[in-house]
Every structure is written in C-alpha cells, then in structure tokens.
Amino acid sequence: MRRGAAWVALPPTLFLAALFALPVLRLLILSFSDPAGPFSPYWRIVDIPAYRTALLTTVGIGGLVTVLSVLLAYPVAYLMATVPPRVARLLGLCVLLPFWTSALVRTTAWIILLQRYGVLNTLLVDSHLLRHPVSFVYNLSGVLIGMSHVLMPFIVFPLYNAFRGIDQNLIHAAETLGAGPTTLCRRVFLPLTAPGVAAGATIVFMSALGYYITPALMGGPAQTMVAQLISFNVEEQLDWAMAGALSVVMLLASLLIFFLFQAVFGLDRLFGDAAPSGRGVVPFAVGARGRSASGRAMLVLGGAVLLFLLAPVLIVFPMSVGSSPFLSFPPQHLSLRWYHELLARPQWLASAWNSLQVAAIAVPGATLLGTMAALGVSRLRGGLARGLEVLFILPMIVPPIILAVGLYYQMVPLGLIRGHWGLGLGHIVIALPFVFLSAQAALRGFDRNLERAALGLGASWPTMFRRVMLPAIGPGVAAGAIFAFITSFDDVILALFLTDVRGRTLPRLIYENVSEEISPTITAVAVLVILLTLLTLLLNVFFQKDTR
C-alpha cells in the first residue's frame, strides 16, 4: 500500500516537467542558436568586458551579501536562543514580517530612508554628525543594504536551530576548565553553529546570484548583475541566444552550489531543523551567572539588527499619513490624502484585483500539487524519493529570471500572456515548493499507525486520507497555502514578463512607479500590503500552533 499510493506524485511531476523543466531546457537550447555559431554567445561573454564585469559583480555582490548576512544574523539568532520561548516566537515574527513583506515595499522604504535627502541623511545632518548628505543608495551600499535585509532571515533560523541544539553541559564544562568568552566563541559556538551558518549562507548566496529587483532599483550602472543583462537581452536586444547563454552560466553556478551542499550536508540541513537532540542534553540558555559582558553586547547588537529589519516596515506608516506632496519624515500634518488618492485611481484597484485573481489560480493549484508531491515522496524510498524531492525543491533554487524568460518564450505562442492564466501557472511553479516542504514536515509528525488502523478496518485509501490523514496534516498544508499566497502576491519578476498592461499585478505597478518616481501614494500602498502580510503571518502562526 505504501508504494501503491506513490502515484499521487505523478501529477506534480508532470506539471513541473511541462512548466518548469521544459521552459528552462528550451531557454538553454536557445543559447546554441546564434547565427554566428552555437558557441558564439559564450565567447562573447568571455570577450566583451561588460559581460565579464557583470559576472564578477554578481559573484562579488553575492559573496559580500552572504558575509554581511552571516554577521548580522549571529546576534539575532543568539538573542532568540537565550530568551524565553514566547519571546523567541515574538522575535521570530519580527524577523518574518519584513522577510515576507513585499520585496518592492521593502525596497521602496529603503530608497525613502537612504536617498540623498531621505530620512537617514536628514537625521545625520540635523544631529551634526554629517555636514552634507551622503549618497547611501543607487550605489553598492544601497544594493548591499537592500539585499542583506531581504536575505538575512535565511541564515537567522538555521543558526537559531544550531544555537538551540548546543548542549549547555558543554558550556559548563568549558567554563569549568577556564574558558573565557573569546575561547567559548572560538572553540564551542563557532564550530557547533557552522553547519547552520553553512545552510543559511548557501541559500543566501544562491538567491543573491539571481537577484534582479533590488539591484535594478537601488544600484547604479556599476552594480549591474547577470539577471539584469538577461532581461536586457530579451526585452531590448531580442537576443535570445545571449540571454540563454547567460542563463546557462547562472543556472550551472546555482546548481553546483546546491548539489555540493546536498552531497556534504544533505537536504534536511538545507531546509529542515537539524538541531541535535538526545538524552541528557540541556538546551542552550543563559547560564546561572547571567549574561557576560560579551553576552550583553550580543544582546544590544541583536536588538539593533532587529531594528534594522523593522525600520523599512515601520517608516512607511507615519509617512503614509502625511499631507505633504513630497516624502517627508516625520510628517508635519496628518492626513489620509494618499489613501483617498489610492482609492480614486482605478489602476491601483485594477492591479490589486488582478493580483487576487492570479492568487486564486496559484494558491489552490500549488496547495493541491504540493500536497500530492509530499504524499508521493513520503511513500517512496531510495534514489527515486531523493530525486523527486530535488525536483520539487528546484523552483526555489533556479533564479526566477531564468524561469520567467523561459515561460515567456513558451507561453507567447500559446496566447497565455494575455489574461491571468499564464502568470497563475507560473506562480504555481514557484509556490509549489513552499507547500511541499510544509506538507512534508507535517507528514513526518503523522502517526502511521492511524493509517494502518483505518486501512485495516476496511477504509479505502482515499477515505483514510479524507477522514484520518488530512485532518492531521491540514494545519501544515494550510500554512503552506498561506506562504503560497504571499509568494504569488509578492512576485514581480514573473509578472514583468507574463502580463500585459491590462493584466498587470499590484507588484508590477509598484515597480513601474518606483522606477520612475516615488510618489507618496506608494507609501499608502505599502502600508496596505504590510497589513495584509501581517494578517497572513498571524494566520500561519495560528495554524502552526494547532500542529503542536
């Protein structure tokens, strides 16, 4: 019966083969279609300085963002591991809120904060710390701040799990032997948390290689990355061969990092909780002597990093109720002018409605297929199970610009760019892994004896699933569906390629407005998106609470 029910993995496998593997493969084949020769685009990448520079810039920025994210994540993870569980959950929500808030909302808020006459420069000049405003945005500093803010949570949670798995007895033993804070950090904390750091850093570096929106909005010409060149070759040059060649380079780099990590640590470490546990293990916590001076310093740093995470989210609220036609902080006069203007402009309401219609396609599709994928993998063993697990996770690994361009090339002849179905199907692809991982985690906690008892009493497998298994794993599936909704509602890259002007979604409209000029109306849009994100995160916390 275990293998007999594995057929449920077939529909999501076929779906990803048609709308993920095939578009990516066709794009890669296009890289060999240049009239000058099959390898001409690759030689141009080597010969033309702009392409070489973009490759080096992409790797360099990815490395810098990874290092910066690790440094920022350590104090937050340490803080979460040394406070009571309820406080740790609250701090985790503070980390998740900016993480799941629309990338465009965060980017817009950072531009407001960092621009030459923005909030940060105003505070620094008024406090006489600076004589003249400094450019914090449209350069490397803006890209590093924006990308680290988005990607740092990928390291916080694996690192928090690593801290939580440290045996407090080891700390007591080391202190008894005379180890000070520096020795503890060097000989105990760093080695034991290294796997968690490696897991988070791998995700951050792979994600950074394919970044598009933040460098495009917060960087300058010197920060042009490979994803921007892929878009440029498709939209401006119509050079599909070069776009395909750049995609091959980016894809190979991402997959190489992914499979190297899988070979060394395994997928459980990359996407799961791999904290050690066992008899006699005392969870890591503040010692009986209280926090040391270095521990108090980490506490202060953790609070500062949390403020860094929340600052862009918090800053847009007061700015959205200002009456000035220019962005100013703090607002001198309170007004709901920008909310009224938002409701009065039909394009904003139309784009929001388009986003909801696309989500109405993506969320049920991703939830159904992701749950089926998790059920199928749970019934299999060996290489087939591991291969399917990799397939269902790959849409999270492959840079979204590659998928967007590949789907665009495949869907234009089918007429799917007009309307909502093309983008909805694309969103199913990128949202399916979130449901798969969430449902897979719920299935690990399901008691198989209940399944055997139901089947032994004569219930068919569908009846057993509907009456026994689904109620047990339902909260996990619902949490995956919530993340699928956020993923769909937040997407910009696929929306730029798979929608026209009439079908553009809210993130695409925000992107177009931020690219031209930041209007105070954007702050009102940002507040509403943040509130929607907060509501969905609270729903997720509720469902996770039900699974305990």
Q: Which of 168-172, 449-453, 544-548 has the lowest mean pLDDT?
A: 544-548
Winning range, highest mean pLDDT, from 40-54, 289-303, 319-333: 40-54
504, 366: one domain? yes
**Average pLDDT, stretch 155-168?**
84
More confident residue, 283 or 183: 183
542, 456: one domain? yes
107, 149: one domain? yes
Spell out the alpha helix ranges (H) of 265-345.
267-271, 293-320, 337-344
User: Is 41 domain-assigned?
Assistant: no
Report the C-alpha gap between 332 and 329 in whole angstroms. Answer: 8
> Which has the closest alpha carbon to 426: 477, 373, 487?
487
Q: In the prediction, which pLDDT does 270 show?
A: 57
Q: In the prediction, which pLDDT does 426 show?
A: 95
Residue 334 forms beta bridges with which residues?
322
Please state, for a pLDDT cut of 90, what percent of the chain lies above it: 24
2, 151: one domain? no
Domain that holds residue 374: 1-30+335-548
Three-class HEC string of 492-546: CHHHHHHCCCCCCCHHHHHHHHHHHCCCHHHHHHHHHHHHHHHHHHHHHHHHHHH
Does residue 532 carry a pLDDT above 60?
yes
Question: In total, how many domains does the chain have?
Answer: 2
Residue 322: strand, helix, or coil: strand
196, 342: one domain? no
435, 512: one domain? yes
299, 422: one domain? no
168, 66: one domain? yes
User: Is 282 domain-assigned?
Assistant: no
User: Is 294 domain-assigned?
Assistant: yes
**Average pLDDT, stretch 389-414?**
90
**Average pLDDT, stretch 456-479?**
83
Does residue 269 carry a pLDDT above 70?
no
CB 137 within 8 A of CB 111: yes
113, 22: one domain? no
> Which has the closest alpha carbon to 313: 76, 134, 151, 95?
95
Q: In the prediction, which pLDDT does 263 show?
A: 73
User: Is 323 domain-assigned?
Assistant: no
120, 236: one domain? yes
User: Is 36 domain-assigned?
Assistant: no
**Average pLDDT, stretch 102-125?**
81
**Average pLDDT, stretch 450-475?**
82
Q: In the prediction, which pLDDT does 13 show?
A: 94
252, 343: one domain? no
336-340's contacts with Cβ under 8 Å and 24+ in sequence apart are 337/520, 338/520, 338/521, 338/523, 338/524, 339/524
User: Is 329 domain-assigned?
Assistant: no
The dihedral through the CA atoms of 362, 365, 369, 374 has a sign that is positive
Winning range, highest mean pLDDT, from 29-43, 250-264, 362-376, 455-469: 362-376
User: Is 100 domain-assigned?
Assistant: yes
- CATH number for the domain harbouring residue 492: 1.10.3720.10
Give pLDDT tens digits for 16-72.
Answer: 999 999 999 998 898 998 888 888 999 999 899 989 999 999 999 999 999 999 999
Cis bond upstream, residue 158 (ω within 30): no
Q: In the prediction, which pLDDT does 283 show?
A: 61
Does residue 274 carry a pLDDT above 50?
no
User: Is 35 domain-assigned?
Assistant: no
Mean pLDDT of the chain: 84
203, 269: one domain? yes
Q: In the prediction, which pLDDT does 282 show?
A: 59
